[in-house]
Every structure is written in structure tokens, then in C-alpha cells.
């Protein structure tokens, strides 16, 4: 009685090694993203007819590195000092929040310049723009947003 429904549920997570061999391999996969950065624009809320509303905003993350290490000796000690130039790369991420409670709180409290932590998954989608041209879009679908800065303090 229980074997058939359990097998049907389990089939979603099972991969066949080959068509001729009946051995099965349980396979896991993961799509997780964690970002820590600053919001680039105030969020907007959009709703396409017949679909759930979504809060959308951009988030900037930065990488910094130095070039040109040199050694500086002082007495018996040797120090490694970085005297080179500092380089920085900013990456912009499109964040989409669909979860009803999180979507509304994010829309209400996130502001440009807010420092936030976002957990979610990456999604690659396709859409047609107003000129009827197919475009590709990458977005982070947020499962959790943690507010790290108080925007009311910065506004005063």
C-alpha cells in the first residue's frame, strides 16, 4: 500500500545511470546565493496581470584587491607590505522578492544606500521587451533579506 506512493515521490530525486542497468543513484543539487552589499535604487513593486506582485531592486557588491606587493625590512624583522594600487570592481545584481510578507517589508523599508544581506537562488529568464526583442535576464530570487543599516539614522 505505501510502497507505490513512496516510490512515485522518490522518483523525482532519482537518476538512472543507464537504460540497461536498473541501479539508481540519488542525486542532490543546490542553487544558493548569498550577497552582502548596498542597495542601488529604491525598490519598485510590479505586477503582471494574472501573476503575483514582485518587489525589485538592485544590489551592488564590491571586490577590492591590491597590486604590487613588496617586502620591507626593518632590523631583524621582515614585513610584507602592500604598497601597490587598490583596484575595485563593482557587480550589480537584480534582486526579486516574491514571498508575500518579505516582499511587502522589503518594499516598505529598503532604500537606496541600505546595507543588506540577501539569501536566495539565481534564476536565468527570458522576456520580450517593448520593441518585441527577446532579452535574457539574470535575477536573484530572494528567500531572506536581513537589514544591516538603519536608513533613518543616515537621513538625519
Quick check: 155 pLDDT over 60? no
Q: What whole-number distance in Å separates Cα of residue 142 and Cα of residue 120?
A: 4
Q: What whole-number distance in Å separates Cα of residue 85 and Cα of residue 87?
A: 6
> Domain 33-65+86-147's class?
mainly beta
What residue spans define the domains of the chain? Answer: 33-65+86-147
Q: Is pTM, for the whole model, over 0.85?
A: no
Q: What whole-number distance in Å separates Cα of residue 146 and Cα of residue 106?
A: 10
**Tens digits of per-residue pLDDT, 124-151?**
999 899 999 999 999 999 999 999 986 5
DSSP percent split of the chain into helix, strand, coil, nearest 5: 15, 50, 30
- Tally helices (H) and strands (E) across the chain: 3, 10
Amino acid at each position: 500500500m505505501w510502497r507505490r506512493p513512496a516510490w512515485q515521490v522518490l522518483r523525482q530525486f532519482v537518476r538512472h545511470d543507464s537504460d540497461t542497468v536498473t541501479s539508481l543513484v540519488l542525486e542532490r543539487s543546490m542553487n544558493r546565493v548569498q550577497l552582502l552589499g548596498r542597495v542601488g535604487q529604491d525598490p519598485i513593486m510590479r505586477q503582471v496581470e494574472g501573476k503575483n506582485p514582485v518587489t525589485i531592486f538592485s544590489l551592488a557588491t564590491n571586490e577590492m584587491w591590491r597590486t604590487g606587493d613588496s617586502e620591507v625590512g626593518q632590523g631583524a624583522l621582515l614585513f610584507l607590505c602592500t604598497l601597490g594600487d587598490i583596484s575595485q570592481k563593482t557587480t550589480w545584481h537584480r534582486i526579486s522578492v516574491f514571498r508575500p510578507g518579505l516582499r511587502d517589508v522589503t518594499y516598505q523599508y529598503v532604500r537606496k544606500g541600505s546595507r543588506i544581506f540577501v539569501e536566495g537562488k539565481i534564476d536565468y529568464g527570458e522576456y520580450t521587451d517593448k520593441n518585441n526583442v527577446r532579452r535574457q535576464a539574470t535575477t536573484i530570487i530572494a528567500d531572506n533579506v536581513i537589514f544591516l543599516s538603519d536608513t533613518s539614522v543616515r537621513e538625519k
